[in-house]
Amino acid sequence: MERIILYQQVADDLKRKILSGEYDVGDFLPTETELERIYSVSKITVRNAIKVLVSEGYVEKQSGKGTTVISNLLFNRLSKAQSFSSILEHEGSQLEKRILSIDEVSSEDSPVQFDLNRLTGHISRISKIYDLNGKPYILLHHYLPFQLTDEMKYELEKVSLYQVIKEVGEMVNNFDDEFFAYKLNSDEQRQLQTTEDIGIRRIRKSYNHLGKMIEYSEAIYLTSLNPYKIKYEI
């Protein structure tokens, strides 16, 4: 079995359990011996899997105590890249979210086709603005292949979209980002309250562990207000 479940696969499964809340922040992971038994792998495979989780910031290993979950944030996966919102916060800027609308669209009106839509029969669209220091900065549209309850819609004012996705039994395993130079149309200028017509457009496609797309988003950044930045640790 060890030839099938290698350390990366063990690490990925443990990450899914951390992100789903099976192992909460502050919990101890099973011991090395227990993990060997659970996954039918060797001690070295378990240790390498734990090293992956430590390097990505999910767990902390303490000699004589065990391995503790210290974070359940999805974007620990980008542990070598600091998130854009954290960069802005570090610079002293304030980024605030405003929900513009939450509705459903037909598959014909969706910019992307979801395999899961065939099962759920729903595509939800969430439109929002992020204000940077009180000025409209990001216009964002999310598309999800399932229906949002009233409770979920309320929660979106307070928690991240990825927490809500977890509530329908899905979890983001990986995502792809694409960035383009973009010319804003008049409606986008109106919503961003600007006469500037050039910005950055970001397309994000998020997938579950089966490779099925569970979120598609389009974002427009008004880069005349602030450039988009990425910082990497070496």
The answer on pLDDT for 229 being more than 90 is no
Chain centre distance of CA 124: 17
Q: Do residues 60 and 28 lie in contact, with contact meaning Cβ atoms separated by under 8 Å?
A: no
What's the rounded Cα separation, in Å, for the pair 58 and 89? Answer: 22
Least confident of 129-143, 161-175, 178-192, 194-208: 161-175
What's the rounded Cα separation, in Å, for the pair 207 and 43? Answer: 31
Specify the pLDDT at position 98: 93
Indicate the SS3 state at residue 13.
Answer: helix
Structure confidence at residue 52 as a pLDDT band (50, 70, 90): confident
What's the rounded Cα separation, in Å, for the pair 3 and 168? Answer: 33
Average pLDDT over residues 126-139: 96
The answer on pLDDT for 2 being more than 50 is no
pLDDT in tens, 150-189: 988 888 888 788 878 878 888 787 889 999 999 999 999 9
Structure confidence at residue 4 as a pLDDT band (50, 70, 90): very low
Structure confidence at residue 195 as a pLDDT band (50, 70, 90): very high
What would the two tokens of residue 77 be? 């996966």
Give, for 220, the enclosing helix (H) or strand (E): strand 213-221
Percentage of the chain surpassing pLDDT 90? Answer: 50
**Distance of CA 22 to CAs 16, 25, 104, 145, Å?**
9, 10, 31, 24
pLDDT in tens, 68-100: 998 887 665 544 556 778 788 778 899 999 999
Region at 181 (left for phi over 0; alpha for psi -120 to 50; beta for the rest): beta
Specify the pLDDT at position 76: 59
Specify the pLDDT at position 223: 94
Specify the pLDDT at position 89: 79
